[in-house]
Amino acid sequence: MLCRGGSSGRGRIRPPRRQLATQPGSNKNDFEQFWAKLREALHDIHTHNAGNLSFEQLYRYAYKIVLMKSGAQLYDRVTEFEGKWFAEQVMPPMSALITKNLVSITLDGAPGISVVERRSLGEKFLKFVRTCWENHNMAMNMNADILMYLDRGFGEEHRRPPIYATTIGLFRDNILRRNLGATGSNYEVFDILNATIIDQINMEREGDVIDKALLRSCVSMLEGLFETDAEVESERLYLTTFEPYFLRTSHDFYRVECERLLREANASSWLRQTQRRLEEEGARCQTTISPLSEQKIASVVDEELIMKHLDEFLQLEGSGIRAMIDNDRLEDLRILFSLVLRVDDKVTSLRNALSLRVMELGNEIEQNLNNTDFSVAPDTGAGEPAGDGEKTKPKTLNAAAQLTAAAIKWVDDVLQLKDKFDQLWVACFDRKAVIETALTRSFSTFINRFDRASEYVSLFIDDNLKRGLRGKTEAEVDIVLDKAITLLKHLGEKDKFESYYQKHLARRLLHGKSESQEVEQEMISRMKRELGNNFTQKFEGMFRDMNTSRETTDQYRNHVRGLGELEESQIDLNISVLAGNNWPREIMGRATGLLSDTKTKATYPPEIQRLQKSFFEFYTKNRNGRVLTWLGGAGTADVKCIFPKVPGKASGPLSKDRRYEINVSTYGMIVLMLFNTTKNDEWLSFEDIEAATNIPQPDLINVLTSLSVIKQFRVLLKESQTKSAAKPGDRFTFNAEFVSKAIKIKIPSVNAANRVENDEERQKTDEKNLETRKHVTDSVIVRIMKQRKELTHTQLVNEVIQVLSTRFKPEMSLIKGQIESLISRDYLERDELPDGSPADKYKYVA
């Protein structure tokens, strides 16, 4: 501090008027005099009589005492005075309030006292504490003001805490920490205070109304007091004493509550109660106790009410997560999600429970499918895709249709399930990514566990593209396509799907069954987007073939017209030239694997043979060296038939000639042409027909059945006349009495769809698939090795799996087998260690 009075100054500087320090004699005297005034003032302040006191005077007394270097004395006297004040004025009424009753209620939890009584006892005590505190705080503020110079002139120099901190701390030492030995217990007032506050809070938790403001002021007192007069921020009494106690008792409270809820076994009420408790505790921190505790009390609730018994609540029968999902209890799920998210950012429990449920429901779909009888057209429940198609045929469905129905049901069910969970995800789970991942994974798992998934998805698309899209708006079509793509994304064995789709697409294209070229293209382009160019190459090739074929057909027509040899009997040819690689093998007549097997080469009638020759000449004119194979099973023919009038019939349709245009498969045409040369009533046996046409037996059975069994299309008569399929040993004749209202008749090819394979076929498909996979695997291994030259076994296997996983999930045995096979074929070699033993490493053999 600057020289107070000491320096003599230079020239004109006026010295301060009078210096106290210059009168040492009166020092002691003055101090007592000043202190007497100050003590009186302190007393007046406590009794609210400060109105007549002059602040300036009191301040000046303190100022002078400090200048007299008697600050320490003043400091101690003030402290002493306040301590005495507590002992004499505050403690007696306080002790009177802390009755044995209060102690035993709050600390010992003595029973037998009504809540009302407990509350009023507690409130009375708290109110008294509050009043004491407020008075004291007020008085100490005033003290600190008039003793301001004490802090500045003495306290700071001597490193004493501010007089305010010291005197306010007296409240802690003289009141809160006062041992209650007098009442026969070993408690401090503080214990009683804490316990009373907690007791009040617990009352509120139980639904009673309490005086929140009262609690708040008691708590803010604790916030304003510190463990020591140094007033370290982290040593607020609230934090050091009250809060731990509060959290501990809250743990107890909620542990009991959670156990009760668990006994009640209602997850729904547990969710709501927990949510309510969290809100309550949050609000309580704001209004009743301190916001400082908000996080901490929330984590107490999180721990006791959520974490500890989460799995048990999830598994509750009738209200657990299963019931929530099954009964669409969105609200429950929403709360559940928000609660689980509080305790676990990865929501593991919820995720696992959801996954499990998805798989269970997925299995149910599969079981339902096995238990459902598709032999009768479903009239309810199976959904609309089956609805309009099947209504016209209320009779029993054939095997293929049954399987289509099953496929559609399966797809619908799976999509419904997916929709449901997607909705839950949006509505309840806040679109949380980890949940989506878990859902997707579990969907993929159960879809791929179902071995017909690939086939069913393809069938679903097939069915929709054939007839499901009729009369649908663009948006609706879009939805169907989306559905298909959604499922497709989940399929693990995409190569399998590819081959099914190829087959189904081929049939649609060749038989002209596709509803809309545009939608077909859209489907392909979506697949391309999802699965890449490679995947759709073959499909696009098929479309290309169809387009080129149309052009070729036109060119050929022009060519024929140019030749000028138009005859009455000229046959109109509509040809599809299919490039071998793009189309499924079954269609290409290579099902048996014998490419040029004569057995599969049907004998065409001479008219047709002429036509074939003519086209072949035309076609090879520009394309030298190409081979065309005629696929009788894949085409159709329009045959104009004349049914002569039946003798003896005078009226009705049978009395005149009837002309019909019959659309049959190419094989069907061959069979019909055979009957051109027979006499009326001449019967041909199955074997005769087979020998004359050389049509493969299964195809022949299909053709003959379609022509002779269904009533509206019975162009041929069969003997024996049963409804079963044609078989070797039957005889057939031309049905002279055939009548139809329509002129153009399309003979439905029985089993033509061949929509779903029987078991044997499926086995074959699988075998073929495996064969293809082997080739694919080979090529992938070689490609990798060619690039890397050298790799360890594990590295190689990992890379192969990575590359293949877009197409299918390769099995280890497959990869290992192919590596062995490539080694034996000298594409790879096993590296050798110096001692000649084989190393775990492969080398590429260039």
Residue 141 lies near other proteins (rule: CB under 8 A): yes
Beta strands in 658-703 (DSSP E): 658-665, 684-685
Distances (CA, A) of 571 to 561, 719, 745: 12, 32, 19
Contact 324, 332 (CB under 8 A): yes
CB of 280 to other proteins, least distance (A): 33
Contact 657, 642 (CB under 8 A): yes
Residue (60 or 420) nearer to other proteins, CB: 60
Residue (138 or 823) nearer to other proteins, CB: 138
Q: What residue type is assigned to position 551 of the chain?
A: E
Distances (CA, A) of 338 to 347, 350, 428, 429: 10, 11, 9, 8
Residue 146 lies near other proteins (rule: CB under 8 A): yes
CB of 78 to other proteins, least distance (A): 16
Residue 14 lies near other proteins (rule: CB under 8 A): yes
Residue 152 lies near other proteins (rule: CB under 8 A): yes
List the interface residues with other proteins, window 669-698 (CB under 8 A): none
Q: Strand 658-665 relative to strand 744-746: parallel, antiparallel, unpaired?
A: parallel
Residue (44 or 303) nearer to other proteins, CB: 44
Q: Of 186, 253, 189, 256, which is closest to residue 225 (Cα–Cα)?
A: 189
In angstroms, the CA 691 to CA 688 distance is 5
Residue (60 or 788) nearer to other proteins, CB: 60
Query: Judged by CB under 8 A, which stretch of 14-22, 393-401, 446-454, 595-603 contacts other proteins?
Result: 14-22
Q: Which of 85, 125, 149, 154 binds other proteins (CB under 8 A)?
A: 149
- Look up residue 696 and give its two tokens: 């493969």
Which residue reads 């238990």 in tokens? 371
Residue (67 or 782) nearer to other proteins, CB: 67
Residue 263 CB neighbours (<10 A): 8
- Look up residue 34 and give its two tokens: 């000043």
Q: Which of 16, 24, 593, 834 binds other proteins (CB under 8 A)?
A: 16
Q: Which of 72, 91, 97, 148 binds other proteins (CB under 8 A)?
A: 148
CB of 138 to other proteins, least distance (A): 6
Query: Judged by CB under 8 A, which stretch of 2-10, 469-477, 641-649, 724-732 contacts other proteins?
Result: 2-10
Contact 791, 784 (CB under 8 A): yes
Q: Of 40, 209, 180, 19, which is closest to residue 107 (Cα–Cα)?
A: 180
Half-sphere exposure of 5 (CA within 13 A, CB side): 8
Residue 159 lies near other proteins (rule: CB under 8 A): no
Contact 490, 448 (CB under 8 A): yes
Residue 37 lies near other proteins (rule: CB under 8 A): no
Residue 217 lies near other proteins (rule: CB under 8 A): no
Residue 52 lies near other proteins (rule: CB under 8 A): yes
Residue 289 lies near other proteins (rule: CB under 8 A): no
Q: Which long-range contacts (CB under 8 A, 24 or more apart) does 568-574 make?
A: 569/607, 571/607, 571/608, 571/611, 573/611, 573/615
Cis ω on the peptide bond leading into residue 26 (within 30° of 0)? no
List the interface residues with other proteins, window 582-641 (CB under 8 A): none
Query: Judged by CB under 8 A, which stretch of 142-150, 223-231, 241-249, 363-371 contacts other proteins?
Result: 142-150
Residue 48 lies near other proteins (rule: CB under 8 A): yes
Residue 89 lies near other proteins (rule: CB under 8 A): no
Residue (61 or 374) nearer to other proteins, CB: 61
Q: Which of 32, 40, 56, 682 binds other proteins (CB under 8 A)?
A: 56
Residue 470 lies near other proteins (rule: CB under 8 A): no
Residue 644 lies near other proteins (rule: CB under 8 A): no
- Assign 3-class secondary structure to 468-500: HCCCCCHHHHHHHHHHHHHHHHHCCCHHHHHHH
751 dihedral zone (left: phi>0; alpha: psi -120 to 50; beta): left
Distances (CA, A) of 776 to 491, 768, 803: 18, 12, 10
CB of 223 to other proteins, least distance (A): 20
Residue (152 or 731) nearer to other proteins, CB: 152
Residue 63 lies near other proteins (rule: CB under 8 A): yes
Query: Judged by CB under 8 A, which stretch of 52-60, 290-298, 464-472, 820-828 contacts other proteins?
Result: 52-60
Residue 15 lies near other proteins (rule: CB under 8 A): yes
Q: Which of 134, 617, 737, 832 binds other proteins (CB under 8 A)?
A: 134
Size of the site for other proteins (CB under 8 A): 33
Query: Judged by CB under 8 A, which stretch of 56-64, 329-337, 636-644, 714-722 contacts other proteins?
Result: 56-64
Q: Which of 50, 725, 739, 797 binds other proteins (CB under 8 A)?
A: 50
Residue 263 lies near other proteins (rule: CB under 8 A): no
Alpha helices in 399-512 (DSSP H): 399-427, 433-449, 453-463, 474-490, 494-510
Contact 686, 730 (CB under 8 A): yes
List the interface residues with other proteins, window 748-807 (CB under 8 A): none
Distances (CA, A) of 242 to 192, 222, 251, 289, 607: 11, 8, 14, 10, 107
CB of 151 to other proteins, least distance (A): 10
Binding site residues, other proteins, CB under 8 A: 1-2, 4, 9, 12-18, 48, 50-60, 63, 134, 138, 141-142, 145-146, 148-149, 152
